Structure 1
Amino acid sequence: MIIAVAALLAAAQAEPLDPDLACVIDRVPESARATVVEEALSGGGGSARAAFRSATDACARERSWNAEFASGLGRIAMAVVLGEEAEVILRRNGISPDLIHDWFNAQSVAVQQGEPSEEVGGRLIEHLQAQGIPLERLSAHAQTIGILLGALNMIERIGAGLE
Structure 2
Amino acid sequence: MRTLPLLAALTLAAAAVLPCAAPAGADGDSVRLDIGEAPGGHVRAEARWAGDRAPVVDGLDGTLAATAPDGRSAGPWRLVGLPDRPGTYTTREALPSGHWRISVGCSQPARGRGVRELDVDGRAFTEGPVAPQLAVPLGAVASGAAHETTDEATTWAAIGTAAAAVLLVATGLWMRRRPPW
TM-score range, shorter chain: under 0.3
TM-score of the superposed pair, with normalisation by structure 1: 0.25
More strand by share: 2
Flag the structure with higher helix content: 1
Between Structure 1 and Structure 2, whose CA radius of gyration is higher? 2
Q: TM-score under structure 2 normalisation? A: 0.23
* Larger RCO (CA under 8 A, 6+ residues apart): 1
